[in-house]
């Protein structure tokens, strides 16, 4: 995987496509598809759009 070494947007997108190939079999193991994973991703983004804004909530608990 050479995503971090990509020098152009086109190269980066190509590397991201390679990453998507990795996720496909994981979805299939659970009788799902990349389309279903994308749908869930969209639904989550609509509920909590913080990641789109480049920040997210982090919860820490002290178990002492």
Predicted pLDDT of residue 50: 54
22's tokens: 């990795």
pTM for the model stands at 0.58
Q: At 64, is the pLDDT very low, low, confident or very high (cuts 50, 70, 90)?
A: low
* pLDDT for the residue numbered 44: 86
Mean pLDDT in residue range 20-46:
92
């Amino acid at each position: 995987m050479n995503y971090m070494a990509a020098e152009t947007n086109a190269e980066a997108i190509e590397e991201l496509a390679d990453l998507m190939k990795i996720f496909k079999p994981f979805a299939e193991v659970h009788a799902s598809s990349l389309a279903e994973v994308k749908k869930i991703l969209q639904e989550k983004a609509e509920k909590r759009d913080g990641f789109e804004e480049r920040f997210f909530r982090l919860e820490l608990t002290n178990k002492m």
